[in-house]
Chains A and B, each alone.
Chain A
């Protein structure tokens, strides 16, 4: 039995008919047709599915779609600095080689956004602590951390998230 659930995704209010057992991750990818959010483990361990829900970063594989009723969700698809312009964080990931295969990248970018909104001036160890829930099998993290710190620096120079 499907249920109607409404939520605001990347600024747009949508209403979807979803089975109660579908996770927010699967709802976004299937019913929502937003496949930028990735499914790595489906049990909370890898962070590839990170989205921002009502201002907090969450693993969308641990949230049932019906639990997101009324929530405001931000996903990677909503991140840009203007029409056809990459988001500040995306730009820094490109500049610093913070993405290789790219599978972890949408989740790490959403986690980075949540971190920088709260703390625009993180230390390297604060960055590493914040992205501890995001696993990357390619980069070895050094370039990811560089990219996050570079985004933070630009933010302090007046650019916006």
Chain B
């Protein structure tokens, strides 16, 4: 590890530096991915551009119905959830399952996205929130997160571009999000499979919108479009959830590696999608003031049985 460090004071300066240094450099935010990659000799940039103290990238705010999270917000801050509106439980649940407290205290949301690991835990959550990234650089632009990540460690980021913020519409009434992750142990584990879901139910209980994202089962995080379509317009019954979970398991293309076999990953997708949808349905029910209706077809039974 030998490099020069640069400390720009503004986003524009950081962007210009990266263009001037022409390739042989890397932005460093929390460093929890980059320092490990450098310690292992996987990357050896000649220049590091320290963006960890750039102004204006560390806040969580809500403007009207749009939530904005600065790219330098840490997973620890997301886990504590100050400033995150109702219906964003998936952000907290995913953030608290990243590494240990020591990693979460410095690992940033922008880094989790830019590092583009197929197992990144916040990426499926941001996908089901339909989040957009604000990129600043030679030409400012906003891009849906699903168009930003192309594959393992590959993004559409152009030289000189920084992720400065992540934005999404605040989930409204009748909306909920959830996140589930499976690993070989309960904490400090890179996901064998991770799943996020967002659901908006109408007053009649039918799904007005559903999004399901699957991580660690393909070169990049996938939306389970078939499963989403099957649920659209129908209530979240046990049968509908089961069918959607099976469709999700069928649509992914997991690989066998040192941590799990492809078959096992597919089973996990089915089980985690079920749980994620049940959790969303429970949350919508809890936040509706009408109390719990004793339905004979209660999706919560599915959760009980799957434990």
Contact = CB atoms under 8 A, between A and B. Distances in A.
Interface of A: 1, 3, 19-21, 23, 42-45, 47, 50, 53, 56-59, 61-64, 66-67, 111, 114-115, 129-134
B39 A134 contact: no
Given A56-B106, A61-B39, 12 more contacts: A20-B48, A21-B2, A44-B102, A45-B188, A57-B102, A62-B36, A62-B106, A63-B35, A63-B106, A67-B52, A131-B100, A133-B103
B101 A133 contact: yes
B103 A66 contact: no
A145 to B, nearest CB: 14
Contacts of A1: 4
A131 B102 CA distance: 9
A57 B99 CA distance: 13
A110 to B, nearest CB: 9
Contacts of A132: 100-101, 186-188
Interface of B: 1-5, 28, 30-32, 35-36, 38-40, 48, 50, 52, 76, 99-103, 105-106, 186-188
30 contacts: A19-B2, A21-B38, A44-B32, A44-B102, A44-B103, A47-B102, A53-B105, A58-B102, A59-B32, A62-B31, A62-B32, A62-B35, A62-B36, A62-B106, A63-B31, A63-B106, A64-B31, A64-B35, A67-B28, A67-B50, A67-B52, A111-B102, A114-B101, A115-B101, A129-B187, A130-B101, A132-B101, A133-B100, A133-B187, A133-B188
Given A62-B36, A62-B106, A67-B31, A111 B101 contact: yes
A13 B101 CA distance: 26
Given A23-B35, A43-B36, A43-B39, A66 B100 contact: no
A62 B74 CA distance: 15
Nearest to B187: A132
Nearest to A50: B102
Nearest to B105: A56
Contacts of B50: 66-67
B5 A59 contact: no
B31 A42 contact: no
A44 B40 contact: no
A129 B30 CA distance: 22
A44 to B, nearest CB: 6
A59 B35 CA distance: 11
Contacts of B32: 44, 59, 62
Given A3-B5, A62-B31, A133-B101, A42 B39 contact: yes
